[in-house]
């Protein structure tokens, strides 16, 4: 499957539900395109940011963005985002690609699994306890910075279950929230040079028309059911990354043992 087709399919999901940008793109770039983890995350930040930039006017024009909750989410998520990016960069500089893949897989699996947890709905929580939103958004920012996933999946789950907003307003607020995080993440990764321009170009060629189509269909397709499908596929992708990461760490450990045995044999050889 080419990056152009992947970009189109992922963008349709983003336009419809507000989620899928990081949850689908990073696994696809790691498992299919074969990009290094840091480059896959950086490229996804730019791609997801452009998709949300295209989708945001659809929701802003219909006033489906809650400005107060949006500002509170950013207060906690932006510091978390910076920490997540720095953690990713530190591991990448140590050539711990297998460990990065494993951590991204675990984060993706856990964040997507939240959709299937029985929901203790508290629609009035955000209205009565708005001061807690920045603290709840902080770990979302950390995950988004490390894996580029989370802003859509976890942000949507948080707002859908703990605020009084309608589903359309939840998606709209989360799209704009994710757009700001993507813009900040893009700026950081761009300065670090961890972006694949050729892959990004193909993703955007398919993604821009895909997100427009998704936004146009958003009022005709039940978003809740589609989110369940998106979450299920994301869990499968996350588990695949976990398996790849564990396998990579195992091969790395075996290679290290082999080199150590060779050195020992060289020392004791008469």
Per-residue pLDDT, averaged over 113-131, amounts to 68
pLDDT at 30 over 60: yes
| Average predicted confidence (pLDDT) for the chain | 77
pLDDT of res. 226:
63
Is the pLDDT confidence value at 119 over 60?
Answer: no
What's the pLDDT tens digit per position in 123-175?
677 777 778 888 888 888 887 887 776 666 677 777 777 777 777 787 788 88
Q: Is the pLDDT of residue 78 over 80?
A: yes
d(C-alpha 217, C-alpha 98), whole Å: 38
Q: Tokens in use for 59? A: 């929701």
With 60 as the cut, is the pLDDT of residue 259 above it? no
Greatest pairwise CA separation for the chain in angstroms: 81
Residues 242, 79: Cα–Cα separation, whole Å: 27
What does the pLDDT read at residue 117?
Answer: 65
Q: Which of 150-164, 170-184, 251-265 has the highest mean pLDDT?
A: 170-184
Q: Give the residue extent of every domain in the chain.
A: 3-251
Q: Please indicate, yes or no, whether the overall pTM of this predicted structure exceeds 0.85.
A: no
Indicate whether 101 pLDDT > 80: no
Cα-Cα-Cα-Cα dihedral of 195, 199, 202, 204, to 10°? -30
pLDDT (tens digit per residue) in 35-76: 888 788 888 888 888 888 888 888 888 788 888 888 988 999
Report, as an integer, the average pLDDT of 67-92: 86
Query: What pLDDT is recorded for position 7?
Result: 87
> 124-138: b or e for each residue (b if 16 or more CB lie within 10 Å)?
ebbeeeeeebbebbb
Pinpoint the alpha helices (H) of the chain: 3-17, 21-31, 37-61, 67-93, 97-113, 125-128, 133-147, 153-162, 167-192, 197-217, 223-268
Looking at 128-132, 156-160, 195-199, 248-252, which range is the least confident one? 248-252
Q: Is the model's pLDDT at 257 over the cut of 60?
A: no
Among 115-119, 183-187, 202-206, 262-266, the minimum mean pLDDT is found in: 262-266
Task: Find out whether 113 and 153 touch, Cβ atoms under 8 Å.
Answer: no
Is the pLDDT at 265 greater than 60? The verdict is: no
């Amino acid at each position: 499957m080419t990056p152009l087709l992947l970009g189109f399919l992922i963008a349709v999901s983003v336009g419809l539900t507000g989620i899928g940008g990081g949850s689908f793109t990073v696994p696809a770039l790691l498992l299919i395109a074969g990009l290094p983890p840091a480059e896959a995350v950086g490229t996804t930040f730019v791609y997801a940011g452009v998709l949300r930039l295209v989708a945001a006017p659809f929701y802003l024009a219909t006033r489906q963005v809650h400005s107060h909750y949006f500002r509170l989410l950013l207060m906690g998520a932006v510091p978390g985002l910076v920490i997540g990016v720095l953690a990713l960069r530190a591991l990448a500089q140590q050539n711990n690609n297998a460990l990065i893949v494993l951590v991204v897989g675990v984060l993706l699996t856990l964040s997507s699994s939240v959709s299937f947890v029985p929901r203790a709905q508290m629609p009035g929580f955000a209205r009565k306890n708005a001061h807690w939103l920045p603290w709840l958004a902080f770990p979302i920012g950390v995950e988004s910075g490390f894996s580029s996933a989370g802003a859509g999946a976890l942000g949507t789950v948080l707002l859908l279950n703990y605020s009084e907003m309608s589903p359309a307003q939840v998606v709209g607020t989360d799209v704009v929230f994710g757009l700001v995080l993507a813009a900040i993440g893009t700026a950081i990764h761009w300065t670090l040079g961890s972006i694949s321009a050729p892959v990004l170009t193909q993703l955007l060629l398919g993604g821009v028309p895909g997100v427009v189509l998704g936004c146009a269909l958003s009022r005709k397709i039940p978003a809740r059911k589609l989110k369940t499908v998106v979450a299920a596929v994301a869990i499968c992708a996350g588990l695949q990354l976990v398996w790849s990461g564990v396998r990579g760490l195992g091969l790395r450990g075996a290679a290290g043992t082999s080199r150590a045995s060779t050195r020992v044999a060289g020392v004791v050889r008469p």
